[in-house]
Amino acid sequence: MTATKRPASAGPGGRSSSDPDPIRVSFRRYAGVRTRVLEVGDLTPDPELPRRSLRRRAATPHVRPSAPRLVLLHGYCDSADTWRPALEQLAAAGIPAVAVDLPGFGDAQPLRPGPMLPQLDAFATAVVREQAVLGSVVLAGNSLGGTMSLRAAQNGRLPISGVVSIAAPGFVDSWLIRTVARYPLPLRLYSALPVPVPGFLVRKVAEQVVPRLLYADSAAADALQVQRFTALFPDYRATKSRLEQARQLVAELADAYRLESVKVPLLVVACGKDKLVTAASGRQLHTLVPHSRLLVREDWGHCPQLDDPVEISELLTYFAASAVRTTQAKRAAATASETVSEDTAAG
C-alpha cells in the first residue's frame, strides 16, 4: 500500500477528511533554534515539572520510563511533513513519535554560516535529551536525517536505544550526488548565469524532477508532497542557494562518520529504486557496522515513508520495541557485572 493508493476523499496517509487530525503541531527551541514539531502520543513533558528536574531524570537511566519513543528526522530540502503519513499510522497504533523540522528547512530558523553538520548535531542532541525524559529514544532518519541519526549514535553519552538509518548518503552514492560534489561545468554555468532563469521555468523543471528523485514510481507521487518540495525552489536565486548548500553538505559527508563508535542496535534500510543513494550504500554501511541489521527493499525509492507509510510505520514500531529490549538487557547485564565486581572487591 502507498500513500497515493487511497480514495479521493481520504487525506494524507489514508485518513478520512472528516476525521480529526491526530498530529499535534507546536513550535519549540532546540540548541537555540526555533522550529516546528509534529507529534503523536503523550510526548510533551509536564510543564509543572521544573526544567532542572527534567534534566536530572534524563541523565539518570534507572528513573527514565522504558517505553519506546520514536524521533523522526527528515532529509535534505525536506521537512517534518514527510513523516505525516507515517505519523498518522503510528498514532492509530498508539505509538508515541515526534518529527521536527531540521535547522534550515521547513519552518525552522536558518542554519548559521559555517559547517552544517555540527549545527545539526547540536540540534539533534537537544531533541534526544528532551524526549529521553519521557522514554527510551529510538532515532529514525531518512537521507540527511539518516546521517544525523548515525552521528547521534556515535555519541555514547546520548540516551539512545536504537537507530534506523534510511538511505543515508556518504557511502556508495549515486551519480547525481557525485556530480554535485564534483561541481562540473553545467552546474558552474548555471550558477554564473548573468540573467536569472525565470521562476516559472525553475518551478516547472522541479515539478518534473522531484517525483522521479523521491518516489519509486513517479506516477504514484502525491501531488501535495511534490508541491511541498517544489516550493523550496521558487526562483533562480533560491535554487542557486540550495545548490551551493548541497555542495557544502556533500563535502562535509566525506568525514561525517565514526562508525566504530556505534554500539546501539542499528537497522539499515536500503532502497532498490533510490536514485539518490544506491542500495549498495546501505549494504556498505551494514558491512561497516557488523552488529547492524540490513533490510533491502527493491520496490522502495529514496523516501519510503512516502512510498509506503504503512510498512514504514510497522517497521519502526517493531524495531523500536526490539532495540529497547536489547539495550535494556545490555544495561542490566553491565549493572550486574559492576555489582559483582564491587562485591568481590569489598570481600
What does the pLDDT read at residue 22?
A: 92
Sole residue written with cell 536525517: 145
pLDDT at residue 221 tops 50: yes
d(CA 324, CA 265): 9
The Cα 174–Cα 169 span in angstroms is 9
Amino acid at 286: H
Q: What is the pLDDT of residue 216?
A: 83
pLDDT confidence tier of residue 174, bands split at 50, 70 and 90: low
Give pLDDT, residue 336: 63
Judged by DSSP in three states, 298 sits in: coil
Rounded to the nearest integer, the mean pLDDT of the chain is 80
| Separation between Cα atoms, residue 346 and residue 325, nearest integer Å | 31
Task: Quickly state the pLDDT bin for 43 (edges 50, 70, 90).
Answer: low
- Residue 170 is placed in which grid cell? 556518504
